[in-house]
């Protein structure tokens, strides 16, 4: 019988204490996030194990083997953040780091990447809402987690994105109660009399109606 090449798989009998063959086992190698690893298949008949091995090797060639090894969600997020640092704006990257450090990491970081499922993400979002987090912030957390897991799928580490297809909380529109002219006048008089360092910000806000983020950016 011709010797198989390295990583091509092999089949050998499994014997009991009495020396009789109890079944068969096959070994083959796959490349994972933690490096090359040996996998095993077993069955009572050599033919069954041979068929299993043929399919496993075929899947490996077709790129259908997904194995993140022992890598945790937290470890992958750290790698993902470092790899993505130069692909987005610095402010965006810092926001991603903040959401991972404060929310995603503490809640999901210890789970193995390959074990993460939609229920983990769904319960995580629910817990964040129950703790008082705004729905809009949960949407931002979801966007980061979804983007990171999408990259993990593209990297061939996991077969599916556990954050995909989840129903997110509805963001209720905020009611705006604008100042009437008299209230605006009194506000400007007060900040001028108190030499408030944000006087320019208030003037700009009242004259342009810009959003808070836009005002702070200026």
Q: What is the tens place of the pLDDT at every residue in 9-18? A: 578 888 888 8
Q: Does the pLDDT of residue 1 top 90, yes or no? A: no
What is the secondary structure of the chain as a DSSP string? -PPPPTTS-EEEEEE-TTS-EEEEEEEEEEEETTEEEEEEEEESSHHHHHHHHHHHHHHHHTT-----TT-BHHHHHHHHHHHHTTTS-HHHHHHHHHHIIIIIHHHHTTSBGGG--HHHHHHHHHHHHHTT--HHHHHHHHHHHHHHHHHHHHTTS-SS-TTTTPPPPP-PPPP--PPPHHHHHHHHHHHHHTT-TTHHHHHHHHHH---HHHHHH-
Structural domains in the chain? 10-61 (no CATH), 73-154 (1.10.150.130), 181-217 (no CATH)
pLDDT, average across residues 68-78? 84
pLDDT, average across residues 30-48? 75
For 127-168, the pLDDT digits (tens) are 999 999 999 999 999 999 999 999 888 877 788 899 999 999
């Amino acid at each position: 019988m011709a010797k198989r090449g390295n990583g091509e798989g092999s089949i050998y009998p499994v014997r009991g204490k009495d020396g009789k063959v109890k079944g068969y086992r096959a070994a083959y190698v796959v490349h994972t996030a933690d490096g090359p690893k040996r996998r095993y298949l077993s069955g009572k008949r050599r033919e069954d194990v041979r068929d299993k091995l043929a399919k496993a090797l075929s899947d490996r060639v077709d790129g259908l083997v997904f194995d993140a090894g022992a890598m945790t969600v937290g470890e992958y997020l750290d790698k993902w953040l470092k790899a993505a640092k130069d692909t987005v704006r610095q402010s965006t990257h810092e926001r991603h780091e903040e959401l991972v450090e404060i929310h995603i990491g503490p809640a999901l970081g210890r789970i193995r990447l390959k074990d993460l499922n939609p229920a983990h993400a769904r319960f995580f979002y629910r817990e964040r809402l129950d703790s008082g987090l705004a729905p809009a912030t949960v949407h931002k957390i979801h966007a980061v987690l979804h983007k990171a897991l999408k990259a993990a799928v593209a990297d061939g580490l996991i077969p599916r994105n556990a954050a995909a297809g989840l129903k997110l909380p509805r963001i209720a529109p905020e009611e705006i109660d604008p100042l009437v002219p008299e209230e605006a006048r009194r506000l400007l008089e007060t900040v001028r009399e108190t030499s408030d360092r944000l006087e320019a910000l208030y003037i700009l806000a009242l004259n342009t109606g810009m959003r808070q983020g836009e005002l702070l950016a200026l």
